[in-house]
Amino acid sequence: MKLGLQLGYWGAQPPAGVGELVAAAEEAGFDAVFTAEAWGSDAFTPLAWWGRETSRLRLGTSIVQMSGRTPTSIAMHALTLDHLCGGRVILGMGVSGPQVVEGWYGVPFAKPLARTREVVSIIRQVLERSGPVTNGGPHYPLPLNTAEATGLGKPLKSIVHPLRAELPIWLGAEGPKNVAQTAEIADGWIPIFYTPSSAAMYQPWLDEGFARPGARHTRETFEIAATCHLQITSGAQESQAVVEALKPMIALYMGGMGAKEANYHKQVFERMGYVELSNEVQSLFLAGRRDEASALIPDELVNDMHIIGTAEEVREKVAAWAATGVTTLLLSCQTPEEIRTIAAVLA
């Protein structure tokens, strides 16, 4: 089991103390540091800034929103940063949701699976640099062949020779079709709300992708990077306090993310068996009754989604996550001391 430091995306201001966190993660033996983006800070710039002080940590995006850039632009970001860090980039991407894609980027959200397949194909062409990049698909035609085009577009090959043709591409995916496609075309999967008790639900979807002609990986070589909150406590009373503190965030994703009719995070909880709970939490959350929505979140769901307990309990729970196929835990840590403690407990 590898450990990744999840820095996420910024709030109203750049966070303080990140350089110290990254340094502690490098020193403590963490495998990677990851950044995210929503509709504020981007994912690549923080990696370039804080990653410059590292020599071993892999630098990952979790995740880059594909609709925010053209596929070749994403490839340019990735190959540039990969050169600067000596071949340590993990390119994590995802489709986001219609509220962000159409409301922030101003592009259609339709056909997310087909768009993902084209994006990955184009990026791999750029990285392989075996010839000019072309794409005949309807979403990202290269050269552009629409009625508005000048007709002067020319297939191009990257000026820069990418450091690695096999730069790893991981995809964020939630639904059965998306997860299967991820297992087929990607090098790794970044699930959201993956838990040991729900892991069996995903196995047939993953197996479908691995079995497709041309699949890049088998289960043995495929990476699964799951995000959770890991906290080592002194005992049951402190553990319960952590559980209570995490409930509002779960209620937010269950009831307040996305549009009421298109909350893909809520659909994950529904697949996990929490249909009635999800509906009730969403109703309360959207009515502004957030405390009541949070109070409905059961302790067992929090404990399933996160790793909370004494050092011995944490070691047992991490082993349970690893047994389901998780290769990396992405952890949000607040202090260098927390990073060092987690590394020592799981050494």
Which tens digits make up the pLDDT trace of 105-127? 999 999 999 999 999 999 999 99
The DSSP letter of residue 310 is -
Q: What is the mean pLDDT of the chain?
A: 95
SS3 label, residue 156: strand
Beta-carbon-side half-sphere exposure of residue 47 (alpha carbons within 13 Å): 33
Separation between Cα atoms, residue 57 and residue 28, nearest integer Å: 10
Q: What is the pLDDT of residue 109?
A: 94
Non-local (6+) Cβ contacts of 237 within 8 A are: none
Separation between Cα atoms, residue 240 and residue 70, nearest integer Å: 45
Q: Tokens standing for 87?
A: 């071949």
Q: What is the pLDDT of residue 256?
A: 81
Q: Tokens standing for 124?
A: 């791999």
Which tens digits make up the pLDDT trace of 255-307? 887 667 667 788 889 999 999 999 999 999 999 999 999 999 999 999 999 99
Strands (E), 179-299: 188-190, 223-227, 230-232
DSSP character string of 13-76:
SPPSSHHHHHHHHHHHT--EEEE--SSSS-SHHHHHHHHTT-SS-EEEES-EEGGGS-HHHHHH
Are the CB atoms for 309 and 342 separated by under 8 Å? no
**pTM recorded for the entire structure:** 0.94
pLDDT, average across residues 321-340: 97
The DSSP letter of residue 275 is H
CA dihedral in degrees (31, 33, 38, 39; nearest 10)? -160
Q: Tokens 């800070």 correspond to what residue?
A: 41
Q: What is the pLDDT of residue 259?
A: 66
Separation between Cα atoms, residue 343 and residue 347, nearest integer Å: 6
Which tens digits make up the pLDDT trace of 10-69? 999 999 999 999 999 999 999 999 999 999 999 999 999 999 999 999 999 999 999 999
Q: Tokens 């056909």 correspond to what residue?
A: 111
Q: Tokens 């259609």 correspond to what residue?
A: 108
